[in-house]
Amino acid sequence: VIDEVAAFDGLRDEVRAWCARTIPTDWREQQAGANHGEFLSFQRWWRDQLIEAGYFVPHWPKKWGGREMSLPEQVVLYEEMARGDAPRNAISQVAVYNAAPAVMHAGTAQQQERYLPAIVGGEIWCQGFSEPNAGSDLASLQTRAIRDGDHYIVNGQKIWTSMARDATRCILLARTNPDVSRHRGISLFVMDMDTAGIEVRPIQNAVGESEFCETFMTDVVIPADNLIGAENDGWAVSQQSLGSERAVVLIGLAELLRRNGRGFLLESVRQWTMPDGSPAIDDPAVREQLGGLYGEVEILRLLLGRMVTNLIRHGGTGPESSVVKIYYSELLQRLMRIGTEMQGLPAQLHRPTVASSGWESRDFLHDFINAYAWTIGGGTNEIMRNIVAEKVLGLPKEVQVPAGPR
Ligand SMILES: Cc1cc2nc3c(=O)[nH]c(=O)nc-3n(C[C@H](O)[C@H](O)[C@H](O)COP(=O)(O)OP(=O)(O)OC[C@H]3O[C@@H](n4cnc5c(N)ncnc54)[C@H](O)[C@@H]3O)c2cc1C
């Protein structure tokens, strides 16, 4: 990425050697068609390898089991893992990159003692933020938490809760004061998922996987001791905890797209033929599309590099992370769509694919459909465009429509 990263060639060699030793070259074949239980055990195995190597929470303080890796060191780690074709650590994202920062920033010493060792030990967490009527406009969430002595009683519904059926705990946003402005009356809790009154219903997505769920809460009792930060301060706590480390993880994306997207497309095109039997790779239209994609993947790499450089040198990513998110997710869709089109009818065949993958299953149609998750999750691309319009281009603010029946 930048000069700062060049100083860590030793770490690069270490990670490269570890990947070569640890990642099974046939993990996709092993995982093709795996059911949910098999997917989970593979993920748990992979998580344990990361824990053992010190790559699970590389950015954490040593006292909590981390390696205190600097941002440039993390860049090296994630670049090399992507180059080594590492599987995605799907089950730990919320615990490591959402829950842990909130607990570290705003949790009490007792809460840190309770939760951080559990996270570093591999506990699965989920995030209960979105609701049927609160997604992009999260501050309109309606789940209620009412204080009753030393605990809260929670009622409401969450949706799109990734990994909810496998999670031990949930970071939950709930309204504790409906009488103040929308952002101010929300609190952040840790909810144990085995508490009475929680019902989790998996939702099947467009490729037939059930990664996310609906989560219903009926008179769920949460001890007051599980409140993270001050009561009614949950909005600020959840925003502050979006740590810079998450941005660094993104650095692997360009490499993954290069390898599993563009690289795999090129590999495939070399084997495909046109309807007249001539090699697809000789077709001028195919070559033009491949050339265009080559350039676009390089642009993504440079955009990510610039974002991470700013993060390392100036300590923040700013609104350019929205540009990266739009560009990445739409390029991913384009690449997979072009792969699906070029493959022609065989692309429509149903094959056993790797569970919960985004772009890495190496099945163009499957990855094309799955790619839509990236234009929605983590803030939709329309919302990202609003941010770019207002914060980068300085356009007038979006008109706020008063809340009311729709
Ligand atoms: C794979 C995946 C995993 C997820 N995991 C989780 C999870 O673990 N926990 C969790 O809490 N949530 C999760 N989500 C939910 C995610 O955060 C929401 O889907 C997202 O915030 C969008 O909210 P929504 O689905 O309610 O869409 P809405 O907000 O209802 O938006 C519907 C459409 O309207 C557009 N729109 C809305 N407002 C505006 C505006 N102001 N200007 C222009 N266009 C607008 C949107 O862009 C979108 O196209 C996940 C989503 C996905 C796809």
pLDDT tens track for 63-101 = 999 999 998 899 899 999 999 989 988 899 999 999 999
Does the beta carbon of 39 sit less than 6 angstroms from any atom of ligand 1? Answer: no
**pLDDT, position 246:** 66
Token pair for 263: 């690289």
136 CA to centre of ligand 1 in angstroms: 5
Residue of 154, 155, 177, 161 whose CA lies nearest to 223: 154
Residue of 376, 383, 386, 401 with the most ligand 1 atoms within 8 Å of its CB, for mutation: 376
Q: Rounded to a whole number, what is the largest CA-CA distance in the chain?
A: 77
More confident residue, 404 or 131: 131
Supply the residue whose CA is at minimum distance from atom 38 of ligand 1: 136
Residue 358's pLDDT is what? 59
Collapsed DSSP state (helix, strand, coil) of residue 151:
strand
pLDDT band at 257 (very low <50, low <70, confident <90, very high): confident
**Cα–Cα distance between 44 and 403 in angstroms, integer?**
44
Share of the chain above pLDDT 90, in %: 64
- Residue 140 has φ and ψ, to the nearest 5°, of -90, 15
Q: What angle do CA 227, 228, 232 make, to 5 degrees?
A: 75
Give the mutation target among 131, 136, 329 for probing the ligand 1 site: most ligand atoms within 8 A of CB: 136
Whether 68 lines ligand 1, by a CB cut-off of 6 Å, is no
> 168-197: per-residue pLDDT in tens?
999 999 999 999 999 999 999 999 999 999
Q: Which tens digits make up the pLDDT trace of 204-221?
A: 998 888 889 999 999 999
Task: Judge if the beta carbon of residue 383 lies within 6 A of ligand 1.
Answer: yes
Question: Residue 119: phi, psi to the nearest 5?
Answer: -65, -45
> Which residue's CA is the closest to the ligand 1 atom numbered 20?
135
**C-beta 241 within 6 A of ligand 1:** no
Whether 130 is in the pocket of ligand 1, judged by its Cβ within 6 Å, is yes
Q: What's residue 309's pLDDT? A: 87
DSSP H stretches of helix in 272-393? 284-314, 320-343, 364-370, 372-376, 381-387
Q: For ligand 1, atom 17, which residue shows the shortest CA distance?
A: 377
Using an 8 Å Cβ cutoff, are 94 and 160 in contact?
no
Residue with tokens 């040198």: 313
pLDDT at res. 1: 56
How confident is the model at residue 242, as a pLDDT?
Answer: 63
Q: Are 13 and 76 in contact (CB under 8 A)?
A: no
Distance 212 CA to ligand 1 centre (A): 13
Rounded CA separation 366/302 (Å): 27
Amino acid 382: pLDDT: 95
> What pLDDT was estimated at residue 56?
95
Tokens of 133: 């009527």
Nearest CA to ligand 1 atom 32: 136
Residue 403 pLDDT: 58
Q: What is the pLDDT of residues 26-47, one digit of tens each?
A: 998 888 888 889 999 999 999 9
Which class for 377: exposed (0-12), middle (13-18), buried (19 or more C-beta within 10 A)? middle
pLDDT higher than threshold 90 for residue 355: no
**Banded pLDDT at 406 (limits 50, 70, 90):** very low
Residue 138 Cα: closest atom of ligand 1: 21
| C-alpha 380 to ligand 1 mean position (Å) | 6
**What's the predicted TM-score (pTM) here?**
0.93
Please report the pLDDT score of residue 398 as a whole number: 79
The pair of three-digit structure tokens given for residue 274, joined into one six-digit string? 């046109």
The whole-number average pLDDT for the span 355-382 is 84
Our answer on whether the CB atom of 160 is closer than 6 Å to any ligand 1 atom is: yes
Specify the pLDDT at position 401. Answer: 66
> Rounded to whole angstroms, how far apart are CA atoms 100 and 167?
15
pLDDT at 356: 59
Residue 376 CA, ligand 1 centroid: distance in Å? 5
Q: Beta-carbon neighbour count of residue 170 at 10 Å? A: 27
Q: Which atom of ligand 1 is nearest to the CA of 381?
A: 47
* Buried residues in 332-352 as b, exposed as e (16+ CB within 10 A): bbbbbebbbebbeeebeeeee
pLDDT, tens digit, 9 for 90 and up, residues 295-343: 999 999 899 888 888 888 887 777 788 898 899 999 999 999 999 999 9
Of the candidates 160, 158, 267, 161, which has an alpha carbon nearest to the alpha carbon of residue 218?
A: 158
Calculate how far, in angstroms, residue 196's C-alpha sits from the geometric centre of ligand 1. Answer: 28
Task: Could you list the beta-strand ranges (E) of 165-277.
Answer: 169-175, 186-192, 198-202, 212-223, 227-228
Token code pair at residue 281 = 């790779």
Catalytic residue flag (residue 245): yes
| Pocket of ligand 1 contains residue 135 by CB under 6 Å | yes
Mean predicted lDDT score pLDDT of the chain: 90
Is the pLDDT reported for residue 223 higher than 90?
yes
Q: Is the dihedral of CA 348, 354, 356, 362 positive or negative?
A: negative
375: confidence class by pLDDT, cuts 50, 70, 90? very high
Q: Letter for the amino acid at 76?
A: V
- Please, which pLDDT band fits residue 12 given cuts at 50, 70 and 90? very high
The b-or-e profile of 43-65 (16+ CB within 10 A means b, else e) is beebbebbbebbbbbbbbeeebb
Region 137-149 average pLDDT: 97
- The active-site residue, picked from 209, 211, 245, 255, is 245
**Tens-digit pLDDT profile for residues 262-285:** 888 999 999 999 889 999 999 999
SS3 content of the chain, % helix, strand, coil (to 5): 50, 15, 35
Which of 127-136, 202-211, 335-344, 393-402 is predicted most confidently? 127-136
CA atoms within 13 A on the CB side of 301: 17
Beta strands (DSSP E) in 224-298 are 227-228
